[in-house]
Amino acid sequence: VKMKLWQLQKHRVLLLLLLIALCQESHGKSVLESLDTVSSILHDVVKLAEYVQTAVNAFDGDHNTTAVSWEEESEKKNALMQFKEISRAINETQQQNFQYAMAAKESLEHFIGDNIPLMLQMLDITKTVDAISARYDEMLTYQTRKQKLEADTLVSFAHWVALPNEHSIEHQLKRLHTAVFGQLPFYSHGRDNATTICFLSLMTESYQLSTHKRCSLLLSPQQFVYALYMDIAITELKGYTMLEFSLMTLRLLGKGNFNEEIQLMRHNYAQRTAHAVSSLRAIMQRADRRVWRCDPDKHVHNATYDEVTRLLQGYVENEVDLNNDQSCGQTCPDYSATSSKGCYKQEFCSKQQQCQGDIYDCQFVDSDMRLCQSPTGSSRRYEFIEYENGVLFGRRQSCGRDTNAVESWRRWIFYNCHYCFCLCDEPKHRSDRYFNLRASVSDVEENRVVTGVRFVKHNRVFHLQIQQGQLLPRGVINASTVAWKPVDNYLISQSQVARNVDYHIMDYRNRGLNLDEVTMTDDKAFVVTGVKFRVSNNRLNLQVQFTKFNFEQGLLMQPKNTSVWQVKRYTTSFRQKLNLENLDVPTRATLKSVSSRDNQYLEFVNTGRSQDAAQTTVPFIDIQEVVSAQPLPLAGIGIYHKGSSGYGGFVAPKIINYDFTPHIRVPTQIS
């Protein structure tokens, strides 16, 4: 009796210790609280497996010699208490991954499509996962009914789970592993490469290719494979936990010693985990980390896109007003760069708004025309122009205002005073052509990093706005802190606000934009903390600020000399120009957009004459927010162009997620 009391005491102490261990982590948070996001799920799965082992070993140590009957010592049922704690932590981990795993799994069905072998493999995996989970849920019900539970019930369950037979959990786990990762290599120590062509990698590659699925899920392929793997890893953890507890139950109730079984089972689990994690690592290394937005279902001004307006715009003017002498002695193409000099004899020039800027690239189309002017307040000048020879500029429609009959005239017999079709570059109040040059930087002092970007037009100026969030240990972002940092609220009319310092203004000669992806090559010690534009070679150029950080602690390094501004560097200085001449208004496109390549640039330009009477400035600016479904630190930011053939398209940002691969390590703790 004395012996037993002592054991009981020791038992209680151990239980207490275990509970403390379960509820504490190095940072003073509970295990449950720290189960946050991407990087730490794997971390937590590993930790939980360790806890399971610790718990079981503690019981074993305590009950090494005496096996006592179930009725005698109800304290034994505390084995099930332990299971409760751990199962709660497992459930918590699963919940964290749940929505991403669901999204990833649902999307699988789209691109497996008619690949029957893959489909069958997928069904097989699902079946095995369900079988293990069902068994696990059954064990959970024992836990809740533990007061009424018969020892025999528990023993037969434990036998069923743990002892070799074709329904045993061990067998199911092997099956699952082979289906997902392929055969376990004999020599495996995380360095084999045969396994990289497995179900998981095929899935990831298919996902990577299905661009329209990606831009709607907003998970990069690296996040995608991680979420899928975690679903499997959690299932394996459930199986492992059941095995440990079942073998422990059998031992406790004197059904054998099972030392061999335990060692073998742990060895197998460790081998499978090492193999799985090294495969995951290899797949993640190859997986793309970019996130961008799809075309919206419907293009809505000021919600999904905005425009640079009246940068270069089709403009009808008579030759007589294009020179200082009121002469008609030349031809339209002679006026390649001029301005409006007056309004001769109150002709058509008195019925339209004069171009108060520079006039470029005049051409002759036909002498006489019918012209429909746009409503006042519109950023267009004309709806359409119909020339007498049948040529139509823009889309013919009913005209809100009266159409103007515009007719060239003859001066003496020699000269024709023709109407020319030119481009007007008028930097006035209806022309929004400004880009912010001030830096947008996250609150580094408060350990905030950039998690997303979007374009906004604010006070007529385009800004690349940043979304920021608090960085936590192991690359996790504190989701409740994620917010858009307000853009600088200045007006270009303010006296202290200066051109070329605070903002850039586009015109005929300065209207370029480089299409780049800015990253820090091969440096995993930095995350994005800011963006800005600079002008070089008359073109806007994206610059990204990177700040050094400590991955394990999740701390940005202070002071600020650990930050650098980076631009895209190419081995070749040659950039190709994206041709956007003679295109239609982007929102009229019916086909899906296709993205530009890197190392290109574009120039903002008027739409085509016949499509749109050259009234609109393209490309448009996509203002949809670009963030991951699950906020992550960034390794880079890019600007690209997307459009469908024949249309001016959109300029949009994209983000490149931080690369977690170097931090995916094969666990060494599990024996």
Toward ligand NAG, which CB reaches closer, 285 or 356?
A: 285
397 touches ligand NAG by CB under 6 A:
no
CA distance 422 to 362: 4
CA distance 201 to 180: 9
For the segment 94-123, give every residue that binds ligand NAG (CB under 6 A).
95
CB of 487 to ligand NAG, least distance (A): 13
CB of 92 to ligand NAG, least distance (A): 7
Which listed range, 180-188, 344-352, 415-423, 477-485, lies at the site for ligand NAG (CB under 6 A)? Answer: 477-485
Which listed range, 104-112, 377-385, 474-482, 610-618, lies at the site for ligand NAG (CB under 6 A)? Answer: 474-482
CA distance 310 to 314: 9
Q: Helices then strands (H, E): number in the chain?
A: 12, 33
For the segment 191-210, give every residue that binds ligand NAG (CB under 6 A).
193
Question: Which of 390, 559, 590, 645 forms a contact with ligand NAG (CB under 6 A)?
Answer: 559
CB 593 within 8 A of CB 650: yes
Q: b or e along 284-304 (b: 16 or more beta carbons within 10 Å of the residue's beta carbon)?
A: beebbbbbbbbbeeebeeeeb
CB of 177 to ligand NAG, least distance (A): 21
64 touches ligand NAG by CB under 6 A:
yes
Question: How far is the CA of 588 from the CAs of 298, 383, 611, in angstroms?
Answer: 10, 15, 11
Binding mask 581-620 for ligand NAG (x = CB under 6 A): ----------------------------------------
CA distance 506 to 512: 8
Toward ligand NAG, which CB reaches closer, 271 or 478?
A: 478
The first and second tokens of residue 154, run together, are: 């528990």
For the segment 293-312, give every residue that binds ligand NAG (CB under 6 A).
302
Toward ligand NAG, which CB reaches closer, 476 or 664?
A: 476
472 touches ligand NAG by CB under 6 A:
yes
7 touches ligand NAG by CB under 6 A:
no
CB 529 within 8 A of CB 563: yes
Task: Calculate the dihedral angle through the C-alpha atoms of 425, 426, 429, 430, rounding to the nearest 10 degrees.
Answer: -50
Label the pairing between strands 600-603 and 576-577. Answer: parallel
Which listed range, 173-181, 475-483, 604-612, 642-650, lies at the site for ligand NAG (CB under 6 A)? Answer: 475-483
Toward ligand NAG, which CB reaches closer, 57 or 69?
A: 57
CA distance 243 to 599: 55
30 touches ligand NAG by CB under 6 A:
no
480 touches ligand NAG by CB under 6 A:
yes
Which listed range, 429-437, 476-484, 533-541, 659-667, lies at the site for ligand NAG (CB under 6 A)? Answer: 476-484
Label the pairing between strands 539-550 and 555-556. Answer: antiparallel
Rounded to an integer, what is the distance from CA 342 to the centroid of its chain?
53
Smallest CA-to-CA distance from 241 within 478, 79, 110 is with 79
Residues making contact with ligand NAG (CB under 6 A)? 61, 64, 91, 95, 140, 193, 302, 470, 472, 478, 480-481, 559, 561
